[in-house]
Structure 1
C-alpha cells in the first residue's frame, strides 16, 4: 500500500540506501548562501526534514550556524546523529512541531513537499511560530496544484503541491514577504523554490 500520510515511514525503510545515494553536489547553495549572508553570524537555523544532514546541515555548520535539525524518520535521524554528533536533533513530525523557540531561518528543502495539500496549508502558522521577525523561510514545492509519485530504492514516494497562487496567498496571509521565487529551477533538479521573509 502506498504511503500518503506519513512519508517518513518510507524513509525508515530506505535510510541506508538514501544515505549512500542522496546527491551531495549542494544544488541548494545559492539559496543557502543568500540566507547565510542575510542573517548574523552564529544565527539559529531550523532544518526541518533534515535527512542525514548531508549536504545542507553540513554546509550550515561550516558557516558557523547553530542548527536544530528535525526529522520524523528515526532511521534517517540515527544516521544524521552519527554524522554530526554535536548537533541538536529532534525526532518529530513537522506537522506537530512546537519547540517554543524562534529561529533566524527555517529550511524545509525537499521535505515539506511530502505532505498532503491540506497538511501543507496547516504548516504556515507553524513556520511563522518558529521564526523571529525578519526571519527567512526556504522551502521547495511543485509547479502547480496536484500530487505526484516518485521512486526511491524501489519504494513509492508521495509528493504534493499547491498552486503558486495559493502559496503566495498563504505566505502573505501569515505575514511573509516573498524574496525569491523560481519555478522549476534547472540548477535545483527543476524544483520550485520559495524564499520568503517574515515581516
Structure 2
C-alpha cells in the first residue's frame, strides 16, 4: 500500500486547490491573449492541466482542442468533470511521447513541480511538438531553489523556482524567443502571498 509520501501531492490536495487558489485573473488574461493568437481549429497542449480550471475550460469554451497531461488521477477526474470535452492523459510531464502537433503549449504552475534539471529538456521536447504560431505560456513562482521540500495545502511536495532573468535564460536556451515576462503578487493559499512569473514565448 502506498504511503502518504508516495502519493502525488495533488492527489491529496484535490479540489482544495481550486477552493484555495482563487486569484486567477492573470492566468485568465494570459489564456485570453493566447486565444487571440490561435488559428481556427487550434490544438493546445496543457502540461500539468490539474483540475481543468481555469485554462482548459477557457480554451475549450473558445473552441480550442485541448490535450491535458497530469500525473494526478484525482486532478484528471476533476478535469473531466469541470472541463469536459478535452483529452486528458495520466502521464509524467517529462515523457510527452507521440502526442502529435500543437499550436501552443501552456504550463501554468506545472514546471515548478519538477527538478530544475528536467525543465530545459522538457521545454525542448515541447518545442518539437509545436506548429503554426508555436506559442509557449509558462507561469512559475519567483525564487531561486531546486526541488525544495515544502508543505502545500497540507500535502508534502517539492518545488522549483527561478528568478526572472534565469527563467528567461532557460526558456531562450531551449529554443524560444521570449515575448514578455511579467511579475505579479497573488494569494497562493490562505495567508500566503507569493510573487508569480508569467512568460510568453514563441519557438524559433
Q: TM-score range by the shorter chain?
A: 0.7 to 0.9
Equivalent residue number for residue 121 of structure 1: 120
SS in 2 for 1:54: coil
Equivalent residue number for residue 196 of structure 1: 201
CA offset at residue 144 of structure 1?
4.0
Equivalent residue number for residue 83 of structure 1: 82
Equivalent residue number for residue 103 of structure 1: 102
SS in 1 for 2:74: helix
Equivalent residue number for residue 61 of structure 1: 60
CA offset at residue 19 of structure 1?
4.9
CA displacement, residues 25-82 of structure 1 (integer Å, 9 cap, x when unaligned): 4431221121111111331111110111011111111111111111111111112123
Equivalent residue number for residue 181 of structure 1: 181
Equivalent residue number for residue 191 of structure 2: none
Partners of 2:171 and 2:118 in 1: how far apart?
Answer: 15
CA offset at residue 159 of structure 1?
1.5
Q: Is the contact between residue 13 and residue 154 of structure 2 (CA under 8 Å) also seen in structure 1? A: no
Q: 1:152 to 1:169 in 2, by over 3 A?
A: closer
Q: Which 5+ residue runs of structure 1 have no aligned equivalent?
A: none
Question: What do you get for the CA RMSD once the two structures are aligned?
Answer: 2.6
Equivalent residue number for residue 139 of structure 1: 138
Partners of 2:106 and 2:122 in 1: how far apart?
Answer: 13
Partners of 1:116 and 1:41 in 2: how far apart?
Answer: 35
Q: Is the contact between residue 120 and residue 171 of structure 2 (CA under 8 Å) also seen in structure 1? A: no
Q: Which has the higher strand share?
A: 2
Q: Is the contact between residue 136 and residue 197 of structure 1 (CA under 8 Å) also seen in structure 2? A: yes
SS in 2 for 1:28: helix
Comparing 46-55 with 10-19, greater Cα deviation is found at 10-19
Partners of 1:27 and 1:163 in 2: how far apart?
Answer: 19
User: How many equivalent pairs are there?
Assistant: 195
Equivalent residue number for residue 171 of structure 1: 171
Q: Which 5+ residue runs of structure 2 have no aligned equivalent?
A: 188-193
CA displacement, residues 164-183 of structure 1 (integer Å, 9 cap, x when unaligned): 4443333333331111101x
